[in-house]
Amino acid sequence: MQMHNFNSGPSILPKEVLEQAATAIHDFNNTGLSILEIGHRTAWFVDVLDEARAIVKHLMQLDDSYDVLFLHGGATTQFMQIPMNLLDDGETAAYCDNGIWGAKAIKEANLFGKALVVASSKDRKHSYIPKDFTVPADCKYLHITSNNTVEGTQWHEFPATDVPLIADMSSDIFHRPLNFKQFILIYAGAQKNMGAAGVNIVVVKKDILGKIKRPIPAIMDYRNHIEANSLLNTPPVFAIYVSMLTLRWIVKQGGLAEMEKRSRQRADLFYNTLDALPLFKPMVAKEDRSLMNVTFSIEDKQLEDAFLEACKANGMVGVKGYRTVGGLRVSMYNALPLSSVQAICDLMTEFQRKNG
C-alpha cells in the first residue's frame, strides 16, 4: 500500500534525502564510518555544518551581520533562551497569543521580564490572526508564531512595527521567499519542513546580543554558540546532517520560489475540495488559512471516526487533529507530493457521496 504522510511533525522527508541518510548511516561519504560514528569536530562534520549554514544564508539572502546556529532543545527551548538573552529584569517584550505555542512562549518570557500580550485570538479559539493592534515603542521586541501548527492559522503578512521582530517559524520555514532581514531572530524546529527531529535552527542578528546585565549560563548564551561555530557541546550530528541534505534538496528543486509554488498548488487543491464538501467544516477564517496545516472537522463524531478509519485503510497517516483541539488536520509540508493531496481529496469526495 502506498503511504500518504500528513503528520504535523516529525513529518514527511524527501525520498532522496531518506536514501542519502540511510546510506550515510552505513558509510558516510566513503569514509568507512557511519555518520553516527564520526567525530563532531572532524573536518568531515564541520564541512556538513558549514554547508548547512551557507545554504540557510543563501536561501534567506542574509549577510554576515547574521549568524546561523544549529542547537539542541527544539523550538521549545527558545521560548526561554530568547528572553534570557534579550530581556533584562523589568523590561517588556510584546507577544502575540495566536495559539498553543505562542502561549507557551509568553509563559516562559514572563520568567525573565514582562511579556505584554498585544494581540490575541483566544476569544475565537485561535481561529484567526488579529490584524489591528499596536506595539508600544518601549518593547524590546515583538514575538510571533508565523504558522500555528495546531490551530491551522498563518501570518500571510507580518505586522508593520518599528519594534524588532522575532518569529517562531517551526512549521513554515523555507516554504516561501520572505524578506528575512525584517527579523532580528528566527528559530525553527527542523522536524516539519527542513529535516529530522533533534535540532533547532536559530538565525540571529549578532548586534542585538550582549546588551543585558543578567548573567547567562554558558550553554544558553548565543554568543558562545556563535564563537564555537555551533560546537560548544556535542551537537545532534545526524539531525544536522539530515537538515543539510533537506536544504540541498530545496535548492536543487528550485529554491523558495518553487517551494511556494508547490505549497500553493497543494493548498488550493485541498481548500477547494474542502469548501465544496458540506460534510467537512473548516475551522479557520478563510483569509488566515495556513498553507501548511489545514484544520477541519465533521460535526457527527461517529462519521469523523469513520473518516479516520477510511484514512487508515487507505494508508493516510497523521489526519487526526491535535489532542487538545480535536477534529481533523492535514499537514502539507515541502516534501509532500501533490499526488498525496489528490488522494485524500478523492477520499473526502467519496466519503461525502456516501455519507452526505
Query: Annotated active-site positions, please?
Result: 101, 168, 192
CA atoms 303, 296, 169, 219: torsion sign: negative
CA distance 155 to 147: 6
- Region for residue 331 given its phi and psi (left: phi exceeds 0; alpha: psi -120 to 50; beta: otherwise): beta
Residues in contact with 67: Cβ distance below 8 Å, sequence separation at least 6, in sequence order:
203, 204, 206, 226
Residue 146 neighbours by CB distance under 10 Å: 23
In terms of Cα–Cα distance, which of 117, 73, 74, 77 is closest to 99? 117
Q: To which H or E segment does residue 261 belong?
A: helix 255-276
The answer to whether 154 touches 132, Cβ cutoff 8 Å, is no
Residues in contact with 202: Cβ distance below 8 Å, sequence separation at least 6, in sequence order:
68, 69, 71, 78, 185, 186, 187, 222, 225
CA distance 345 to 271: 9
Residues in contact with 284: Cβ distance below 8 Å, sequence separation at least 6, in sequence order:
127, 128, 151, 152, 153, 290, 295
Rounded to a whole number of angstroms, the distance between the first and last alpha carbons of the chain is 27
In the Cβ-directed half-sphere of 1, how many Cα atoms lie within 13 Å?
A: 11
CA distance 328 to 318: 9
CA distance 166 to 93: 10
